[in-house]
Amino acid sequence: MSRIELVKGDITRLAVDAVVTAANEALLGGGGVDGAIHRGAGPQLLQECRSIGICPPGQARITKGCLLPAKYVIHAVGPVYEDGNNGEPEILASAYKAALQLAKQHNIRSIAFPCISTGVYGYPKPEACEIAVATVTAWLDRNQLPEKVIFCCFDKEDVELYAKRLKQPTTHS
């Protein structure tokens, strides 16, 4: 857990090697955190995403960070939540693992995650938090990279869920 940090704030302002965005399959931006990252990165990000094409749920793709402080953006596609009985937990865990695998492949030492799939995709926040923390913790137990993982939460409810699960204080960006 010493390699995990909880931050309340705007993920687009974090000075890390990579920020993860909760992307849609088309990687073309949208609302929530994905829209904020696309706006912060500028039009170059959209151009690069267009050249990649589709990214299925449970997978991730990497692009440059463009105008963001982060060197890279990792686009992780989580599941649209139906009822939890259609593979959603496995797909969500897979999205986190795919992002971490890209981080390892690109020698990324610090990475920041938003709450994937909990916005318009409707994943219940407590269950999504549990999957995120369990998946990242298991990864860090077996891998050297990334050296630091930040869970960056934008709202109070998410911060409280992650703080309770991680049993650690929150910093503010």
pLDDT in tens, 24-45: 999 999 889 999 999 999 999 9
**Whole domain around residue 150: which residue ranges?**
4-172
Residue 42: half-sphere exposure toward Cβ, Cα within 13 Å: 8
What's the pTM value of the predicted model, to 2 decimals?
Answer: 0.95
SS3 26: coil
What's the CATH code of the domain at 75?
A: 3.40.220.10
pLDDT in tens, 115-165: 999 999 999 999 999 999 999 999 999 999 999 999 999 999 999 999 999
- Say whether 155 is catalytic: no
Q: Which of 10, 17, 34, 141 is catalytic?
A: 34
Number of domains within the chain: 1
Burial of 3 (0-12, 13-18, 19+ CB in 10 A): middle
